Amino acid sequence: MKFTRNEAIRSIESTQDWDVTIIGGGATGLGIAVDAASRGYKTLLVEKYDFAKGTSSKSTKLVHGGVRYLANGDIKLVMSALKERGLIFKNAPHVSFVQSFVIPSYNFFGKMKFLIGLKLYDWLAGNLRIGKSTLLNKAEVVEKLPKVKQKNLIGGIQYFDGQFDDARLALNLGQTAHENGAVVLNYADVTAITKNSEGIVNGIEFIERDSNKKYTIRSKSVINATGIFVDDILKLDVATHKNLVRPSQGAHIVIDKKFLGNIDALMIPETSDGRVLFGVPWHDKVLLGTTDTPLNEHQIEPRPLEEEIEFILNTADAYLENAPKREDVLSVFAGLRPLAAPTSSDSNSTKEISRDHKLIKSNSGLVTITGGKWTTYRKMAEETVNMAISVAALPYKECTTTTLQIHGYSTEKRDGHWQVYGSDTEEIKKLIIETPSLGNKLHERFDFIEAEVVWASRNEMIYNIEDFLARRIRFLLLDAKSSLEAAPRVAALMAQELQKDQNWIDEQLASYNALVKNYTL
């Protein structure tokens, strides 16, 4: 069965009962689908938007243990995350990479404090350690970060952590779940949680976006893995439910790589307000972020606040010569983290809230997972499926995901953006042999080609041009205005593949044009 929406809908229509049904197609939900399906449970996942449309595609692109959590004394979370970081490197090497980070030091005490902390960080990783933290002199720091401010610079520290492509890994998890027998469907909006006469959850109702057809699903267990939207689903279970989650916004800006230097990333451990800021090479650009701003409401397309953009630019200016200005920003984006709602009087503090995940079993048997971080998605999934097994009295089967290779698995190193396709790369390039024009670039300044649109239409479950430009390739996040220039050709190719008409093309281009305004200054 192909990984397409039509095939998924056909499977749903021909299946009466499911063991595990997951609401939410971000990192956590997709990880749960992989876990449940690979154990042999009949698994369904439905997502209201596209896979990783929300927080899971808006991260800082780091698969890491969390240096700042170590500073907060959260040793357990760091150890768990470092182990999971190692497993991502083993199971999905095509989308995860070792990244060198440099912390520039402007005073001796700070340098030694961070060195001790990072030595502990290395030690906690055990045999999954990916590099050794070392002291650098001033010349070595400047060699690695040519654009760093040199006044009062006394040296620095180099350490190693992980980087990845979040939206590509999310898609690969969906494909891996599918290959293990799960059915996953995007653009499926859950409207009700169904219950038996005793008030126990026994399924869901959802509307498929394209046809507006309503489906009723019977399932032994239902899992709520909707991130910042968990409270919306919990209110379908209990109308009087009080919110568990308070969103915290993390904003990022994308700039040209000339503003940072070589292949090393910049880590600023103590900004003016105590936050950590990263400058990370990513897809031949540089990502600067992130912020940590408490909000009172959640939405699927958050816009970075003006104060966040200013904070990032001002912090960069404090550490970089010829730092980027507003006119140098190629794209801005924000993601919302689901943090536990604060109970203290200080409703604007997010620093004391644990980034660890929480598992909740409702009286109805609905299982909810919230919190956590991308790096620990696999462990979160394992614990969630274990709870679902217990709650729904499913026959117990062992978790297999510690050694399960993710779709696209390949240890071969490929040039440029082809790396994140892994083993699918050769299949995409075969399309060019059949139709040479598919080798044409989508934009003169980027290496993305037309064959990728055709491939994604046939094999990556894209529904609109945003799915492709924002998440299957990362064009929207890398250079928003340039992605808009490529949109007409993408729409035409998708329309041909998905049998859509000119009205659809016009609607897609109008919608994408409006979206791009959210990603530009």
B/e letters for 446-456, b = 16+ CB within 10 Å, e = fewer, are bebbbbbbbbb
Residue 246: the pLDDT is 86
Residue 15: the pLDDT is 95
Confidence of residue 374 (pLDDT cuts 50, 70, 90): very high
Question: Where on the phi/psi map is residue 254: left (φ > 0), alpha (ψ -120 to 50), or beta?
Answer: beta
Q: Which two tokens stand for residue 465?
A: 């041009």
CA–CA separation, 49 and 490 (whole Å): 20
B/e letters for 231-249, b = 16+ CB within 10 Å, e = fewer, are bbbbebbeeeeeebbbbbb
417: Cβ contacts below 8 Å, ≥ 6 apart? 283, 447, 448, 473
Confidence of residue 178 (pLDDT cuts 50, 70, 90): very high
Q: Which of 217, 199, 195, 211 is nearest to 23 (CA)?
A: 217
Burial of 517 (0-12, 13-18, 19+ CB in 10 A): exposed
Share of the chain above pLDDT 70, in %: 97
Instruction: Evaluate whether 493 touches 439 at the Cβ level (below 8 Å).
Output: no
Instruction: Evaluate whether 64 touches 375 at the Cβ level (below 8 Å).
Output: yes
Answer yes or no: is pLDDT of 169 > 90. Answer: yes
Confidence of residue 272 (pLDDT cuts 50, 70, 90): confident
Residue range 224-247: mean pLDDT, rounded: 94
Q: Which helix (H) or strand (E) holds 442?
A: none
Mean pLDDT (the chain, rounded): 93
283: Cβ contacts below 8 Å, ≥ 6 apart? 165, 417, 474, 478
CA–CA separation, 288 and 309 (whole Å): 10
CA–CA separation, 455 and 497 (whole Å): 10
Confidence of residue 67 (pLDDT cuts 50, 70, 90): confident
Single-letter amino acid, residue 185: L
Residue 355: the pLDDT is 58
Confidence of residue 274 (pLDDT cuts 50, 70, 90): confident
Q: Is 72 helix (H, G, I), strand (E, B) or coil?
A: coil
What is the full DSSP assignment across 183-196?
A: EEESSEEEEEEEE-
Of 341-350, 367-376, 385-394, 498-507, the least confident: 341-350
CA–CA separation, 52 and 26 (whole Å): 4
Residue 477: the pLDDT is 98
Confidence of residue 353 (pLDDT cuts 50, 70, 90): very low
CA–CA separation, 251 and 265 (whole Å): 18
Residue 345: the pLDDT is 40
DSSP tag of 225: -
Answer yes or no: is pLDDT of 349 > 60. Answer: no
Residue 339: the pLDDT is 81
How large is the greatest C-alpha to C-alpha distance in the chain, in angstroms? 73
CA–CA separation, 39 and 33 (whole Å): 10
Instruction: Evaluate whether 486 touches 442 at the Cβ level (below 8 Å).
Output: yes
CA angle, 469 as apex, 225 and 49 as ends, to 5°? Answer: 25
Answer yes or no: is pLDDT of 45 > 70. Answer: yes
Instruction: Evaluate whether 331 touches 283 at the Cβ level (below 8 Å).
Output: no
Residue range 249-263: mean pLDDT, rounded: 93
CA of 512: how far to CAs of 40, 370, 469, 476, 485, in Å?
Answer: 39, 30, 9, 10, 11
Q: Which two tokens stand for residue 343?
A: 């109970």
Q: Which helix (H) or strand (E) holds 445?
A: none
